Structure 1
Amino acid sequence: MSEHDFHLGVDIDADFDAPPPDAPPAPVVAVVGRPNVGKSTLVNRILGRREAVVEDVPGVTRDRVAYDATWSGRRFTVVDTGGWLPDARGLAASIAEQARLAVDLADVVMFVVDATVGATDVDEAVVEILRRSGKPVVLVANKVDGVSAEADAALLWNLGIGEPHPVSALHGRGSGDLLDAVLAALPAEAPPETFAEAGGPRRIALVGRPNVGKSSLLNQLAGETRAVVDAVAGTTRDPIDEEITLGGQVWRFIDTAGIRRRHRENQGADFYATLRTQSALERAEVAVVLVDASESLAEQDLRIISMVVDSGRALVIAYNKWDLLDEERRHYLEREIERQLHHVRWAPRVNVSARTGRHMEKFVPALETALAGWDQRVPTSKLNQFFADLVNSHPHPIRGGKQPRVLFATQAGVRPPRFVLFTTGFLEEGYRRFIERRLREEFGFAGAPLDVTMKIREKRARKK
């Protein structure tokens, strides 16, 4: 990354071509097929880079892995799936489970067949599942490396799921036409969502580890049972939208499946639940991260909070099961928060019990505070007066005989608040953190992650 651009509070290797916060969720394309038909090679071809592991051995891909892709200006998510092993036990059950999971998630299914081998019994079994699903299917006849092999691809018409698209994932032959067919099969692109439309409810995503009480909290807020609650972790698989009236205002809550592990560690339905949770987060304006206060903060809690911060959504942290805490546990919890969540001190906090209804009345004020910070805009004149005072009282340290300064600042946007600083040089990380801390002290921005971008003034060549 160049010194000309950085994002404060965001991972230094973040993708700066990420979609804007108001972009609709990207459609999902699942790549399915038998082992060794070239699924991962095809995924790499679509991405234009080597991401998926490829080896000339069946079964290299075992877990489902998702990648962001773009073709002709259209964003979509590609899910690379493991192949179906012909000699596995309970073959029919395995095929059905794998295919249904892929089909349930996907907007379009890319079914990859090795044209040099032709359709097998396993292929035909999958076709039956795909046909019954009603989802759009793009049939990929892979390993068609030349004109002479196109006759093999034509034989796949017999599968009865439409035109086979001859490609060579290895060499790229036909990949452009294939992606054109995929885009044609995708649903029409939704316009960017306008948050807080007139009369429309504000959107809140409930996220957290499995079994921390998200569905119980939703039921408590609604005053009735609207989501299934069970002691077994992972009861919720799909996001559930519920409109609930609180404080005289209608809110739309999205109860999401619990996030267990990282993408490539997730198995089966949990993998897809994670993707759906991310999709729900994209649709939300504020995320309520539910934490089990009766247990020590887990790495997974920290990762979920980071996911919300990276998404640019407003953040509220709710510590559930507060009724189970004794004085000793409360003491240690405060120490854990101070040590592990110091980077999100700006997030409103509520201590609640979804089981007993304790402190439910504090939810609306916390949500309103976070949304107000997320929407907040500082006038340019006031912002520049703040930076003038800041630079005069706390100038950047001199490094190598140079002292970079902030020349001008502007707030480029809201939701989340985005700032652009025009500087004479690169600002050190410590000074950037200092700027964020002082911005919050001066203007608040409670509940909102800050996005600060630096533009360094180019040195002009001296005229001779």
Structure 2
Amino acid sequence: MNDQTISGDGAPEHGELGDAEFAEFMELAREEGFDPEEIEGALDEAGHGPLPVLAVIGRPNVGKSTLVNRIIGRREAVVEDRPGVTRDRVTYEAEWSGRRFKVVDTGGWEQDVLGIDASVAAQAEYAVEAADGVVFVVDATVGATDTDEAVVRLLRRAGKPVVLCANKVDGPSREADAAYLWSLGLGEPHPVSALHGRGTGDMLDEVLRALPEAPAQTFGTAPGGPRRIALIGRPNVGKSSLLNKVAHEERVVVDETAGTTRDPVDELVELGGRTWKFVDTAGIRRRVHLQAGADYYASLRTAAALEKAEVAVVLIDVSEEISSQDLRIVSMAVESGRALVLAFNKWDTLDDERRFYLEREIEKDLGQVRWAPRVNVSARTGRHMEKLVPAIDTALAGWESRVPTGKLNSFLGELVASHPHPVRGGKQPRVLFGTQAGTKPPRFVLFASGFLEAGYRRFIERRLREEFGFEGSPIQLSVRVREKRGRKK
């Protein structure tokens, strides 16, 4: 069976289908000639928990980014033969032997880079804490240094599974260099040449043994607990001011200097007669330089705050033009699978001319998330703060929505009949049936007779929203294509 996946995440056995609904669904699958085991695999994949996270750590210039590029199979992490290179993203998705996981490329560690909060210990502890497993990269040609030894102590305290990568072993003559790294006490060093690919396959096999199939759900709280809200946005957009306003007191430091907040600050806040847990995150910068270690790790912490949240409230400063930074942050929230609210801050500063251009920017740049509730607020004056809770409630309701299998397939049948897939190469693929494999966010698996074009998949998503709502929530859609074989009798 071919797999055409837009995205897929989180759920128990058979996605989240009950026994009766699962039996009904499997009967549909048998009628269309799908193998039951393959169907169960598709549901399990679409309903699986969040992807496990692998942190790649090590001193500057040991080859971490080169190894990350090798793992993900493409050149995304910026590589240069010097420490402290700028890169735009820190998290990537990878696949090995049919298993998917996230790779976090961390900055190189040096003692007291800024002399304040960018020390090896602070950086290493966070990177390891946020991961399910660690690849510790050591330059085999140099051997274990004092910094490497310090990292080993942190890894032991953390108790996370570690795979020791002895990098820059470019040939058999360098194997002895790798053997010396047994002295670190982390088990077998895996000799690798990240540059040439030598030994990376064996190392990744060991990584899969170290990583869990899927970690426990990190977002959400126990039933009845406060819902978690992540405030995210670029620096100095007003996140801390907003938190202070909803809390009715000065809970966090506010300063005109961008980047005052370094760590996510969890605050229990009474709002709309209920208790919420707000996470005020450090602003995400468009380009994060590794030598500015505090900002680099603030970006990582923001990603971790999203992982723990249920709703992302993205603040956008309306006094400035919507920037590529804003759009990247919105995309980050959508990709995380969290419910989404757009909060347009500093609304009290708008004049008629700026409002005219802002509406056009929203239509042009944020059209792909027009499903997200929008609130126009002022963190400074408190304008429209009362609208924040209804918007969050709407987004959570969409995020948790479920469509019964029977209702979904009636909808799909009518949709395919009235708007069939375009004919391509003399063939016209059909959506045969589907089911919702999970919620938080809604995850659908469609089974088709042939490859569905991206435009048609977007059309299906748009019609799903028109029919069933899902306001404030991303939708994740997987398409499984039936193998070319005779129908089962």
TM-score by length of structure 1 reads 0.77
1:32 correspondence with 2:55: no
RMSD: 4.6
Do the aligned residues in 2 keep the contact of 1:27 with 1:107 (CA within 8 Å)?
Answer: no
Q: Residue type of the partner of 1:235?
A: T
**Equivalent residue for 1:387?**
412
**Equivalent residue for 1:219?**
244
- Distance in 2, matches of 1:447 and 1:460, equals 41
1:305 correspondence with 2:304: no
Give 3-state SS (helix, strand or coil) of 2:455's partner. helix
Give 3-state SS (helix, strand or coil) of 1:309's partner. helix
Query: Taking structure 1 as reference, are residues 283 and 129 closer, same or farther at Cα in structure 2, changes over 3 Å only?
Result: closer
Task: Look at both structures and tell me which one has the larger radius of gyration over its CA atoms.
Answer: 1
- Distance in 2, matches of 1:32 and 1:360, equals 44
Query: Taking structure 1 as reference, are residues 191 and 412 closer, same or farther at Cα in structure 2, changes over 3 Å only?
Result: closer
- Distance in 1, matches of 2:100 and 2:418, equals 48
Q: Which runs of 5+ in 2 are unaligned?
A: 10-41
CA deviation vs aligned residue, 1:276-312 (integer Å, no higher than 9, x gap): 1111111111111110011111111111111111222
Q: Residue type of the partner of 2:294?
A: A
Do the aligned residues in 1 keep the contact of 2:398 with 2:470 (CA within 8 Å)?
Answer: yes
1:99 correspondence with 2:120: yes
TM-score by length of structure 2 reads 0.73
Query: Taking structure 1 as reference, are residues 172 and 151 closer, same or farther at Cα in structure 2, changes over 3 Å only?
Result: closer
- Distance in 2, matches of 1:404 and 1:74, equals 28
- Distance in 2, matches of 1:430 and 1:50, equals 25
Do the aligned residues in 2 keep the contact of 1:418 with 1:450 (CA within 8 Å)?
Answer: yes
**Equivalent residue for 1:206?**
231
Do the aligned residues in 2 keep the contact of 1:212 with 1:292 (CA within 8 Å)?
Answer: yes
Q: Residue type of the partner of 1:365?
A: P
CA deviation vs aligned residue, 1:227-251 (integer Å, no higher than 9, x gap): 1111111111111111112222221
1:454 correspondence with 2:479: yes
Which sits farther off after the overlay, 380-389 or 396-405? 396-405
| CA-CA distance at 1:352 after TM superposition | 0.4
| CA-CA distance at 1:263 after TM superposition | 6.0
1:256 correspondence with 2:255: no
Give 3-state SS (helix, strand or coil) of 1:191's partner. coil
- Distance in 2, matches of 1:71 and 1:459, equals 26
**Equivalent residue for 2:85?**
62
Q: Residue type of the partner of 2:59?
A: G
Give 3-state SS (helix, strand or coil) of 1:106's partner. helix
Query: Taking structure 1 as reference, are residues 417 and 74 closer, same or farther at Cα in structure 2, changes over 3 Å only?
Result: closer
Give 3-state SS (helix, strand or coil) of 1:5's partner. strand
| CA-CA distance at 1:60 after TM superposition | 6.0
Q: Residue type of the partner of 1:106?
A: A
Q: Residue type of the partner of 2:264?
A: P
Query: Taking structure 1 as reference, are residues 355 and 193 closer, same or farther at Cα in structure 2, changes over 3 Å only?
Result: same
Which protein, 1 or 2, shows the higher relative CO under an 8 Å CA cutoff with sep ≥ 6? Answer: 2
CA deviation vs aligned residue, 1:369-416 (integer Å, no higher than 9, x gap): 111111111222322222333333333334444433333232222111
Do the aligned residues in 1 keep the contact of 2:232 with 2:283 (CA within 8 Å)?
Answer: yes
Q: Residue type of the partner of 1:280?
A: A
User: Share of identical aligned residues, percent?
Assistant: 55
| CA-CA distance at 1:220 after TM superposition | 0.8
**Equivalent residue for 1:422?**
447
Which sits farther off after the overlay, 195-204 or 352-361? 195-204
Do the aligned residues in 1 keep the contact of 2:342 with 2:372 (CA within 8 Å)?
Answer: yes
Do the aligned residues in 2 keep the contact of 1:21 with 1:311 (CA within 8 Å)?
Answer: no
1:241-280 pair list within 5 angstroms: 241-262=266-287, 267-280=292-305
**Equivalent residue for 2:16?**
none
**Equivalent residue for 1:7?**
6
